[in-house]
């Protein structure tokens, strides 16, 4: 290892930025000698200013040391561009550790490249499973967790899923949820009033985000979904900050501004969460938004047949719906308000995941990464 260990973070898509910010901060705050050096590699999977730059500004992330500019494409083409781009830049820097986040194609490519280059890796948000391999993310999760050297889990069931897949339990650590760390940090500046005013929304409104391929890629599925959303909008006005993936198909299916619906560009992180904080209801198919509504206590209906985040149902406000059940479920969620099954947040969703992850990485860099007693202590207490 070099004098100052080098940790690189590979980020590519909107949710990656939100999860990485607390880890970058946590590592920077460590009082270590020698100090850990860090850098961000931006793959460029997301590239619109509202899908990328605004997150660096809102989350205070440092400038990337490289942007690979891979852009969009089919899974094979995008992943191929990610593999070749990442092999060059990881090979050039030879970091001591690469940290990857979530389940996007950039995460998959980074883990493959590092495994072949012999560079060690940590996966933040390991062990989530929807058990639905038609989701590209599920395929990515399985491969990433099989190859990562350190696995950071956001919920207890993730530890057992990893064990069932034969992952050495000494690699896995329950650390809480860095996406929730970012939300805790943002909380004091989340004010619904200005964005609500700008969009001309009344006090009682709903927010919807839709981008899953299963909902937005197929014309029939998109039409069924849009009809259901329109029905809800007759009860409560809905604003939809629309992900670029759904833009064309959903507009063709009738998701256009008018009659209780307001369709806008994606929002920056702070504006979006301000809007969510003040909402009476969220309709979504996002992974991260299920977690954020759980923490904010905002009723959430998720238009998906399954979720890799069941803790948002058992400990949060989340409910799974189909387009057919969406209108009735939305009405019930509006009536129920922020009631949750336990009244408690998931364990360790306390804004301290970033520092916990940083401490495990520091211990690992020192070489005591696989001492079972130490690892066990981290897993059981979250310290
Ligand atoms: C990706 C992730 C998904 C995650 C989502 C977060 C994979 C396989 N999927 O899905 O898990 O939930 O990011 O938002 O990695 N586009 C733009 N501008 C951009 C980015 C994308 O216009 O800045 C459009 C392009 O038409 C592109 C499409 O969105 O083809 C899809 O982008 P891509 O990154 O391939 O997948 P997402 O649907 O964003
Ligand atoms: N988000 C945002 N602006 C938006 C929609 C979402 O800042 O217009 C944030 C949201 O608060 C969460 C993250 O983007 O932190 C979730 O990303 P996304 O839904 O694209 O991905 P997923 O979590 O489904 O992988």
The rounded distance, in Å, linking the Cα atoms of 184 and 352 is: 9
Per-residue pLDDT band for 368 (boundaries 50, 70, 90) equals: low
Q: What angle do CA 85, 86, 88 make, to 5 degrees?
A: 70
pLDDT in tens, 89-148: 999 999 999 999 999 999 999 999 999 999 999 999 999 999 999 999 999 999 999 999
Q: Identify whether residues 148 and 200 lie together within a single domain.
A: no
φ and ψ of 65, to 5 deg: -80, -20
Kindly report the protein residue whose alpha carbon is nearest to atom 2 of ligand 2: 269
pLDDT at 337: 85
362 Cβ neighbours under 8 A, 6+ residues apart? 27, 30, 32, 36
Q: Identify whether residues 364 and 239 lie together within a single domain.
A: no
pLDDT above 50 (res 52) = yes
Q: Identify whether residues 133 and 265 lie together within a single domain.
A: no
Look up the domain containing 40 and give its range. Answer: 6-177+348-380
Kindly report the protein residue whose alpha carbon is nearest to atom 37 of ligand 1: 245
How many domains would you assign to the chain? Answer: 2
Give me ligand 2 centre to Cα 286, in Å: 7
Residue 325 counted as domain residue:
yes
Residue 31 counted as domain residue:
yes
Give me ligand 2 centre to Cα 302, in Å: 14
In this prediction the pTM is 0.96
- Based on the residue annotation, tell me whether 75 is a catalytic residue of this protein: no
Cβ < 6 A, ligand 2 pocket: 14-15, 18, 209, 241, 243, 266-267, 269, 272-273, 286-289, 292
pLDDT above 70 (res 45) = yes
CATH number at residue 275: 3.40.50.2000
**Ligand 1 site, residue 46, Cβ cutoff 6 A:** yes
């Amino acid at each position: 290892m070099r004098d100052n260990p080098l940790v690189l973070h590979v980020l590519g898509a909107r949710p990656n930025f939100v999860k990485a910010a607390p880890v970058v901060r946590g590592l920077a705050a460590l009082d270590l000698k020698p100090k850990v050096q860090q850098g961000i590699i931006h793959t460029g999977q997301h590239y619109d200013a509202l899908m990328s730059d605004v997150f660096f500004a809102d989350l205070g992330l440092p400038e990337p040391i490289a942007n690979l500019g891979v852009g969009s494409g089919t899974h094979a083409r995008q992943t191929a561009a990610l593999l070749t781009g990442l092999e060059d830049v990881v090979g050039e820097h030879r970091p001591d550790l690469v940290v990857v986040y979530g389940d996007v194609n950039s995460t998959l490519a980074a883990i493959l490249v590092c495994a072949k280059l012999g560079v060690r890796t940590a996966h933040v948000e390991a062990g989530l499973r929807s058990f639905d391999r038609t989701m590209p993310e599920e395929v990515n999760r399985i491969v990433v967790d099989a190859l990562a050297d350190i696995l950071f889990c956001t919920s207890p069931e993730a530890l057992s899923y990893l064990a069932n897949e034969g992952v050495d339990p000494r690699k896995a650590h329950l650390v809480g949820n860095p996406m929730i760390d970012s939300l805790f940090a943002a909380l004091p500046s989340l004010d619904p009033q200005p964005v609500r005013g700008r969009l001309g929304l009344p006090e009682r409104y709903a927010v919807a985000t839709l981008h899953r391929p299963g909902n937005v890629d197929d014309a029939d599925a998109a039409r069924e979904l849009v009809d259901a959303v329109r029905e809800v909008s007759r009860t409560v006005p809905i604003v939809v900050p629309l992900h670029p993936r759904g833009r064309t198909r959903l507009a063709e299916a009738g998701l256009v501004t008018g009659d209780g619906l307001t369709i806008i560009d994606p929002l920056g992180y702070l504006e979006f969460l301000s809007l969510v904080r003040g909402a009476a209801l969220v309709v979504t198919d996002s992974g991260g938004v299920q977690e954020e509504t759980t923490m904010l206590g905002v009723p959430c209906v998720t238009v998906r047949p399954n979720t890799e985040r069941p803790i948002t149902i058992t400990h949060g406000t989340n409910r799974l719906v189909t387009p057919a059940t969406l209108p009735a479920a939305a009405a019930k969620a509006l009536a129920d308000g922020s009631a949750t099954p336990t009244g408690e947040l998931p364990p360790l969703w306390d804004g301290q995941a970033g520092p916990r992850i940083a401490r495990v990485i520091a211990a690992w860099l020192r070489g005591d990464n696989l001492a079972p007693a130490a690892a066990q202590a981290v897993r059981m207490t979250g310290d």
